[in-house]
Amino acid sequence: VGGRPGSNHALRRWVESAGGELTVHDGGVEDRKGLLAAALANADLAVFPVDCIDHDSMSTLKRVCERHQVAWHPLRTASLASFVELMVRLHANATPTLAAVPVSRFCLRHG
């Protein structure tokens, strides 16, 4: 809920590439606030950037999330990095561990 159009587009691509679905609501700027409750009814979780949401929308979001028993999480900023950091933190046990990749002895500058 909230955010910036450019960031929201990047978030949608990132979530879809991971096999998820992202529903974006701008908090009432262009989207009606009444649609927020309907969108949250089927959500797994709700996130909102504290730098791009008004207090009324944030209060409505928290109230509707509690009514539908949906977890909500504030983001530090409306950036993709903040969203990814939250997802990694929430799903820390589900992320696969990456094996160490051997360092290449090939120098890109000198060959």
Output the domain CATH number for residue 47: 3.40.120
How many domains would you assign to the chain? Answer: 1
- Give how far Cα 2 sits from Cα of 12, 16, 36, 61, 108, Å: 14, 19, 11, 10, 43
The answer as to whether 18 is a domain residue is yes
Q: pLDDT tens-digit profile of 36-66? A: 777 788 889 999 988 878 888 888 889 989 9
User: Shortest CA distance to 75 belongs to which of 47, 44, 38, 111?
Assistant: 47
The SS3 call for residue 45 is strand
Q: Looking at this protein, which amino acid is placed at residue 60?
A: T
The answer as to whether 110 is a domain residue is no
Per the model's pLDDT, the better-predicted residue between 30 and 92 turns out to be: 92
Taking the model in full, what pTM does it have?
A: 0.70
